[in-house]
Structure 1
Amino acid sequence: MSLLVYYDGECPFCNRYVKLLRLKESAGDVSLIDLRESPQQRQELIDQGFNLDLGMVVETDGRRVAGDDAVNMLAMLSTPSTFLNRVNKAVFSSPLLATLLYPLLRAGRWLTLFILGLGQIMPDDDGARARATIFGTLFSLFSFYHFFNYALEYMRFPPQIDMIAIAICAVALFFRPASSRLLFLLMLVSSVSAIVQAPITSNHTMVRNMVLLGYWVSFFYTMIRGLKWSDIFTNFAPAGQGALLVMYVFGIFHKINTGFLNPETSCAVALWRQMPMPLNAIDIPAMHYLAIYGTFIVEGGIILMLFSRKLRHIGIVCGILFHTLLAFSNYAMYISFTTLSIALHCLFLNEESARNIRDSKMMTAFTRRMRDPVYILAAAILVALLFYVGMSRNYTLVTLMALPLIIPFCVNIIRHGSSTKPLLAKGHRVTPLIIGTIVTTLFFLNCTMPYWGLKSAQTINMFSNLRVEGGVNNHLIMKHISAPFGYLDDVVTIEKAQGPQANITTELDQHGMVYYDLLAHLSDNPNLVVTYTRDGKIYENMSAAMLADDIQHTLHPAWFRKWFHFQRVNLKEPITCAY
């Protein structure tokens, strides 16, 4: 009997496995064929329908088997001469155990090749790689601005190690955006940072966290199934698309309230008045109403265009320009949210559009120049200047410095991004849609939390004038529906504070605090002493020890509070714009 074993010679597990089994002692004539060095046999197996990245192929007496069947056959033919052979024979000679355990071996092999950067045998999907390259470029840009935002606007300087790691990985990915491993590394350090930094009220961080969730679900599914590396992105993209659509939906829905629709209090007007000259000079009622209702029209129109194959590329550009315009307002550092939204908009580019954009003269010239030492030096100078401008809190200029990247990219999308082909190819739709549906549903539910009377932070209610706390509900639709939970009804006002984090008194000027949030604050800062008013009664010099019973019976575990938390309550009447 002759035995042919086709295996991946670059896989350290496969290599050692076939050599340690000592098949020649029992099977006689054994040929070990490294598929990396045997293109003819490799192509023959591919033509016969074998996915060579799912494991080795074994041939005997003209019959070829792969995967768990191949491992089972090798186990049956191996000798008990060594400990490894005895274990292998005992476990994998059972067809049932081979079927159950082989996916773990396959996943281990896949992860090893991925981490070591050893290419897969099967050809990768160029269209998916083009989409991943564009997303990698933009997500790295966002990640750098995210680091920049936290280091400067939130005054976390010097930055913590997790933020430094994000910045380093972002820069590396920016110069090598096609690298699946660098994107993996950036996603990994971003996930660690998300856990370390939580809870925070930043909405763009919540959007990013949903993107991270979608990526990891896709990554582990792809690893377990042993699929192509490009499938990580293909399976993940609908999750990012869903996150963007949910962001738009609630960006509209939360604003349907009396505060946002009132020009005297609307965040739309507040942001407009912080626009650079000459825009902010147009401070007339007509402009105020245009800013308010134009927000609904533009965001709603972008959603509709993203669903249209013919207008999708126009919708992408409109979304990019709309969020860039918002970032010009000096009201807050919006550039991190803007760059994240740009990355998510570009997930709506299909494979044909992505290839055309990636291979365009403009994009190839940009890629080539980013390897030029002169341009690298110019980029370093620009980053230094960016920090200087950011420290002066000139957010308009920060955005202006990003225009040399944003505007040409928009032009490129207009010129090369038009395509009526679907976002997902036939035969590759089920898994991406399932992952996308899971992430989109979770994000949607998260954004409905204020109307349930639950958490209010990170629900995409930024700049919306929404108020649902303390028995007040200014939403024109949801005010008629009673919230089933009462967390948001219990609001306190802080009179004074002493000890660590005592600056909450200045943070809460004309603002209140959900009582649950106060208890969490005290629990995390046992030495903090607070005087507050609750239901008209003043509680003086209260600490975690004095409120131990309330803390024990009210608060959830610390890990849950990283998600379940609250923003400060705007107590002004009428409700004015608050970040």
Structure 2
Amino acid sequence: MYKVTQAELRPQHSGLSSLFSGSIATPEQPATDATRYAIFCALWAVATLFHMAQSRIYTSQLHYVLLTLAAFVVLSKPSSVVRLLALIELQLYEVFFSLPAISNHWLFTTFVNLTILQALLWVVIKKRSLQVDRAAFLRAFAPAVRLELLVLYFFVVLHKLNWAFFSPSASCAAVLYKAQHAEALLPNSPAFILANIYLTIAIETLIPLLLIFRKTRNIGLVVGLVFHCVIAFNSYNGFYDFSSMIFAAYFLFTGYNFSTTIHRLYKNSINSWFAFKQRFSQFTLSHTLLWTALFVFLLCGIKIISKISTDYFQIIWGAYSFLYILLFLLSLYKARQYFPTRLFTLPNAFFCLLPLLVFLNGISPYIGLKTESSFAMFSNLRTEGGITNHLFIPVSAQIFDFQKDMIEVVASSDTELQRIADEGKLITFFQLKNRVADVRPARVEYIRNGQRRTFELTSAAPNDELLHKSPSLLRKFMRFRMINKVDPQPCQH
């Protein structure tokens, strides 16, 4: 790490001005790690807001309200460690409240949050002080988070290496391409759709490889930023929740010049706003007309936006992502690029724990554990029922039997199980027994191991396995997809 000036180490002040400390950075005087910490916290809070926006869950529960407020509180002073901890605490509460039904990006967010808490504990114990050095704090958790992102990309690509994903008639790449509604710009021919499948694999493989090496890192960031910016506009789903999380994680790969560029924009924007208010705050006819025109322009803009898109957060995402990419490209014009040293060097072997858990989560389908929230989103992967469509990982790799014990529900008095029967889906016995033990339906007919069986609640023995739930820890962390009885598997999350 290069030296920084005393001005950069100046104590931060309270209020919004604490977003950045010290003088404006230049290539000769780069932004400090304390500044980078504040920027990361701001981006992390923005990612939380996009997560809430995608699901429209701001006020459905009290903890959602508090989580939304916590994100804004962090944005008001992102340099605050206490505010970040409050945000993380509420995020973790929301996750454990929702498990096992959480999305892939929110689970990855959980791993990052646990890594941040791990780093905080490490810094406090190492310094034997509750006065946290934000620069040291960032340097403690950033390497592990970078490794976790690479592991995420590894499984995103690995899961797609199955014959169904390479089939134009079934591939999620084809489904999502059509949902992009880019017919006016790109062809919709079978050949182009097939090319898009291979292009998807190529891009998602290249991004982590380019990020690893310093000389190619900026190229990888540009490719990744543009890729995740574009897919966030897909009509199939609002992927800006996933993309905003990726943008925040990408920041840890960027050089100090990017932080300097953001710093300069922030300071210039604040100065321009105060200058504007000072100039036009006096009451005159021309000033009154100007403020009135601005107010009318704002109302018209809201009206136009509401007509352009029902999901106005896509417009907000567009503004946010384009600004992020523009600032990053501007930072590349600097004569010399400054990067953090030892990008993947963990401060202690203790920090291997969370990257290993991320790896375990990703490999779960291949060892017979859960298939949901295992980073296999939109991959067409099937590993259940003793059948796999993966190109080279065999079913024999499974060391647990959860996926081997598949059930076909024939009929049931429970509406959820009857829906599964009507759709012709297969589920694991793990899912069936926990559903039956939970809702205790009067009757369930199902086929297991080729044998048709009937469960009657009134005549069921007390020790009937369908009346006994799996251990709570398994139910909290294990979730399985429903699958079709015949392949190829449809595109699903």
Give the shorter-chain TM-score range.
0.7 to 0.9
Q: Does the CA contact (< 8 Å) of 2:119 and 2:137 recur in 1?
A: yes
Task: Find out whether 1:445 has 2:360 as its counterpart.
Answer: yes
Question: Residue 256 and residue 399 in structure 1: after superposition, are their counterparts in 2 closer, same or farther (change >3 A)?
Answer: same
Task: Find out whether 1:574 has 2:475 as its counterpart.
Answer: no
SS at match of 1:333: coil
Task: Find out whether 1:216 has 2:121 as its counterpart.
Answer: no
Distance 1:242 1:142 in 2: 19
SS at match of 1:533: strand
SS at match of 2:71: helix
Q: Does the CA contact (< 8 Å) of 1:148 and 1:387 recur in 2?
A: no
Deviations 1:115-155 (A, max 9, x none): xxxx9xxx9x962222222222221121112122333xxxx
Residue of structure 2 aligned with 1:336, choices 236, 241, 247 = 241
Task: Find out whether 1:519 has 2:433 as its counterpart.
Answer: yes
What aligned pairs does 1:42-61 form with structure 2 within 5 A after superposition?
none
SS at match of 2:64: helix
Deviations 1:173-211 (A, max 9, x none): 233333322222111110111111111141112111111
Letter of the 1:143 partner, please give it: T
Deviations 1:264-286 (A, max 9, x none): 10000000010134358621122
Question: Residue 230 and residue 496 in structure 1: after superposition, are their counterparts in 2 closer, same or farther (change >3 A)?
Answer: farther
Distance 1:347 1:478 in 2: 32
Residue of structure 2 aligned with 1:503, choices 416, 426, 434 = 416
Distance 2:360 2:108 in 1: 13
Residue of structure 1 aligned with 2:267, choices 356, 361, 364 = 364
| Greater gyration radius | 1
Distance 2:67 2:106 in 1: 13
Q: Does the CA contact (< 8 Å) of 2:446 and 2:452 recur in 1?
A: yes
CA RMSD of aligned residues (A): 3.8
Give 2:8's aligned residue: none
Q: Does the CA contact (< 8 Å) of 1:275 and 1:330 recur in 2?
A: yes
Q: Does the CA contact (< 8 Å) of 2:437 and 2:469 recur in 1?
A: no
Task: Find out whether 1:130 has 2:43 as its counterpart.
Answer: no
Q: Deviation at 1:527? A: 5.6
Deviations 1:308-346 (A, max 9, x none): 213322322221221122222211221111111111111
Give 1:200's aligned residue: 101
Q: Deviation at 1:364? A: 3.4
SS at match of 2:407: strand
Letter of the 1:330 partner, please give it: S
Question: Residue 370 and residue 576 in structure 1: after superposition, are their counterparts in 2 closer, same or farther (change >3 A)?
Answer: farther
Distance 2:435 2:322 in 1: 44
Q: Does the CA contact (< 8 Å) of 1:389 and 1:398 recur in 2?
A: no
Q: Does the CA contact (< 8 Å) of 1:492 and 1:514 recur in 2?
A: yes
Give 2:71's aligned residue: 170
Distance 1:161 1:476 in 2: 46
Question: Residue 531 and residue 281 in structure 1: after superposition, are their counterparts in 2 closer, same or farther (change >3 A)?
Answer: farther
SS at match of 1:345: helix
Give 1:149's aligned residue: 54
Q: Deviation at 1:413? A: 1.1
Q: Does the CA contact (< 8 Å) of 2:444 and 2:455 recur in 1?
A: yes
Letter of the 1:555 partner, please give it: S
Letter of the 1:503 partner, please give it: E
Question: Residue 356 and residue 266 in structure 1: after superposition, are their counterparts in 2 closer, same or farther (change >3 A)?
Answer: same
Question: Residue 386 and residue 516 in structure 1: after superposition, are their counterparts in 2 closer, same or farther (change >3 A)?
Answer: farther
Give 2:281's aligned residue: none
Letter of the 1:159 partner, please give it: S
What aligned pairs does 1:228-247 form with structure 2 within 5 A after superposition?
228-247=133-152
Question: Residue 179 and residue 519 in structure 1: after superposition, are their counterparts in 2 closer, same or farther (change >3 A)?
Answer: same
Distance 2:466 2:146 in 1: 39
Distance 2:419 2:257 in 1: 50
Q: Deviation at 1:382? A: 12
Give 2:6's aligned residue: none
Task: Find out whether 1:479 has 2:394 as its counterpart.
Answer: yes
Q: Does the CA contact (< 8 Å) of 1:324 and 1:399 recur in 2?
A: no
What aligned pairs does 1:293-304 form with structure 2 within 5 A after superposition?
293-304=198-209
Deviations 1:242-281 (A, max 9, x none): 2211111111100000100111100000000101343586
Q: Which range moves more in the overlay, 275-284 or 299-308?
A: 275-284
Distance 1:475 1:165 in 2: 42
Distance 1:474 1:244 in 2: 26
Task: Find out whether 1:266 has 2:171 as its counterpart.
Answer: yes
What aligned pairs does 1:46-445 form with structure 2 within 5 A after superposition?
127-151=32-56, 159-225=60-126, 226=129, 227-278=132-183, 282-350=187-255, 352-361=256-265, 363-365=266-268, 398-416=313-331, 421-424=338-341, 429-431=345-347, 434=349, 436-445=351-360
Q: Deviation at 1:455? A: 1.3
Q: Does the CA contact (< 8 Å) of 1:310 and 1:420 recur in 2?
A: no
SS at match of 1:513: strand
Q: Deviation at 1:493? A: 2.6
Percent identical residues: 23
Distance 2:268 2:467 in 1: 61
Runs (5+) with no aligned partner, structure 2: 1-17, 23-29, 278-290
Q: Deviation at 1:554? A: 7.3
Q: Deviation at 1:157? A: 8.1
Distance 2:92 2:77 in 1: 20
Q: Does the CA contact (< 8 Å) of 2:217 and 2:253 recur in 1?
A: yes
Distance 2:371 2:197 in 1: 23
Distance 2:468 2:183 in 1: 55
Letter of the 2:99 partner, please give it: A
Letter of the 2:479 partner, please give it: H
Q: Deviation at 1:522? A: 3.1
Relative to the length of structure 1, the TM-score reads 0.68
Runs (5+) with no aligned partner, structure 1: 1-118
Question: Residue 530 and residue 282 in structure 1: after superposition, are their counterparts in 2 closer, same or farther (change >3 A)?
Answer: farther
SS at match of 1:259: coil
Letter of the 2:173 partner, please give it: A
Relative to the length of structure 2, the TM-score reads 0.79
Q: Does the CA contact (< 8 Å) of 1:493 and 1:532 recur in 2?
A: yes
